[in-house]
A and B are shown apart, each in its own frame.
Chain A
C-alpha cells in the first residue's frame, strides 16, 4: 500500500495555464516536502510544510498543507515550459522515525 498518493499521475498543459497537483494519505504527517525532478537529474527540494493549514509561496508556486496534515497541494500559476518535470511529495510521520517516504509523483509537461 502506497503511503502517499499523488494525482494526477500525468498532466499536460499549455503555457500560461494554471494547474494544481495533489498529495494525499490516510496518515497524519509530521512534515511534508515537495521536490521537482528533471529528466536525468536528482530531485530538488522546493519547500517544507509543517503546520496544518500552512500556505507557502515560491514565485508562481503555492503550496498548501491540509488542516488535518493528511494532504497537500501544489498550485502553479501561469505555467511555463521551464516548469516541466516530475513533482514529488515526501512526508515523515510520527511512526517512521523522521524518515521520509516518497510518492510516485506527477509528471508535468508544459507546452509552449
Chain B
C-alpha cells in the first residue's frame, strides 16, 4: 500500500469558481477525514466518514463545502463559489479506529490558492 494520496497537489483558482479535490485512503481503513490548515495552525477538522457514512461535519463548514465518500472508498471535497478566505492546505487522513485509538495517516495535502 502506498499510503494516502491526494489530487491535485496544488490548485489555483479564481474567486467564484468551484473546485473539487480527491483523496484515496489506505485501503483497509474505515475512517476518512478532511482538514483545513493555515500557516502556523494545527489541522482544523472539517468532516469525517466512517465507511460511506458522513458522521460529523464541522459547524465552521459553510454550505459551500460538501464531501462525499461513495462506496466507502475514495472521497471528494467540493468547494463551490470559492472565496479568498478558502485559500489553505486541505488535508485528508485515514484511520482504522480501534478502542479509541485513532492513528491517522495523512496525505500530502492539496494547496488551494484563490485569487
Contacts and interface: CB of A to CB of B under 8 A. Distances in A.
Contacts of A40: 89, 109, 111
A50 interface: yes
A66 interface: no
A24 to B, nearest CB: 14
A31 B100 contact: yes
A81 interface: no
B43 A99 contact: no
Contacts of B103: 33, 45, 48
Interface string A37-68: 00011111100101000000000000000000
B100 A33 contact: no
B113 interface: no
4 closest A-B pairs by beta carbon, nearest first, are A42-B106, A30-B100, A102-B42, A104-B42
Interface of B: 4, 35, 40-43, 45, 48, 55-56, 89, 91, 93, 97, 99-109, 111
